[in-house]
Structure 1
Amino acid sequence: MITPEQIQATMARYIQLVDACDIDGIVALYAEDARVEDPIGTPPHVGRAAVEHFYREGLGRAQARARQTGPVSASHAGSGAVPFCVDLQMDGRACSIQVIDVMEFDEQGLIRSMKAYWGQANLVAREDA
């Protein structure tokens, strides 16, 4: 089973890859049968191909940057959560979103489920763009 330290490292790496807009690197962290719900409550993207499409069409076009805003909380049961902020362009405007991602990992240490907790209340316009 994946250790809490491995979860912490993988989730921190995920945010680094989001910051770099490294879609190939992000997708490589996911299991073949992964499920992504971003934000929670929207239809899930199921399977690595669907996850890749989601990141390429969203993150890849949004000029996103990301930074971790708190520690990764990891369990001995193969799950973790991390708060972070994503700065991006949405509808031509500079915005920031405060997000908490919750991930579950498989036995190989790949992400099998990611749920992003954020909504309209976590989205703010930025004037620095």
Structure 2
Amino acid sequence: MLDEAALKELILEHTRRVNAGDVEGLLKLYSPEVRFEDPVGAGAQQGHEALRAHATGAVTSNAVELAGRPVAAQDGLHAAVPVTATMDYLPLGPVLTRYGVLPTPADPSGQRMQFQFLMVIRAGADGLIEDMRAYWGTSDVALVDAAQGGAHA
């Protein structure tokens, strides 16, 4: 069981490693048998290879995650944090457009996607993340102009 400070640090370290483009470092925070769902409702995935593919897509899209204030549960297992993430529309945005989440931008290369989501994790006794869920819906995603501050930091 982790104390509240350690749980908060763990969930924030996830965002730091995404921002650094450190996929292998990110995987070190997770159990090899991790179960994750991003977004919740899209279907769960499991294991490091699935998480590597998911994280590589975000890093390739120049993802930047700005974490809010994390909270930790008293059970020593769970933590949550609100996150605002931006990433290039290409290459992943057309999938969201195909599903009606986003409109087709006039200039796909000049657009980024912005997501408002809540990330919830459950850590195991070894301090590794065993479960991660990202809660966001269609109304939580928007296109932003890369030239107006939506670009990768």
Same fold per superposition (TM over 0.5): yes
AA at the equivalent of 1:17: R
Matched-pair contact (CA < 8 Å) for 2:18–2:59: no
Q: Mean Cα displacement is larger for which, 86-95 or 11-20? A: 86-95
Whose Rg is larger? Answer: 2
RMSD over equivalenced CA pairs, Å: 1.3
Which deviations, in whole Å up to 9, do the C-alpha atoms of 1:10-66 show, x marking residues without a partner?
A: 11111111112211111110001100100001121101222112211x212211111
After superposition, where does 1:13-32 map in structure 2 within 5 Å?
13-32=13-32
Once the two structures are superposed, the pairs formed by residues 96-115 of structure 1 within 5 Å of their partners are 96-115=114-133
Q: Displacement, 1:76?
A: 2.4
In 2: Cα distance, 1:42 partner to 1:22 partner = 25
Q: What amino acid is aligned across from residue 74 of structure 2 in structure 1?
A: H
Please tell me the residue identity of whatever aligns with 1:126.
V
- State, as a whole percentage, how many aligned pairs show the same letter: 25
- Contact kept in structure 2, 1:45 and 1:54, CA below 8 Å: no
TM-score normalised over the length of structure 2? 0.78
Corresponding residue number in structure 1 for 2:103: none
How many positions carry a matched residue from both structures?
A: 127
Are 2:80 and 2:121, in contact at CA under 8 Å, matched by a contact in 1? yes
Which of the pair is proportionally richer in strand?
1
Shift of 1:89: 1.0
Q: CA separation in 2, counterparts of 1:76 and 1:35?
A: 22
Counterpart residue type for residue 62 of structure 2 = Q
Cα deviation 1:62-83 (Å, max 9, x = unaligned): 1111111x21110121101000
SS of 1:98 mapped into structure 2: strand
* 1:120 and 2:138 matched: yes
Q: Does 1:59 find its partner at 2:77?
A: no
CA contact (8 A) 1:82 1:102 kept: yes
- Gaps of at least 5 residues in structure 2 are 94-107
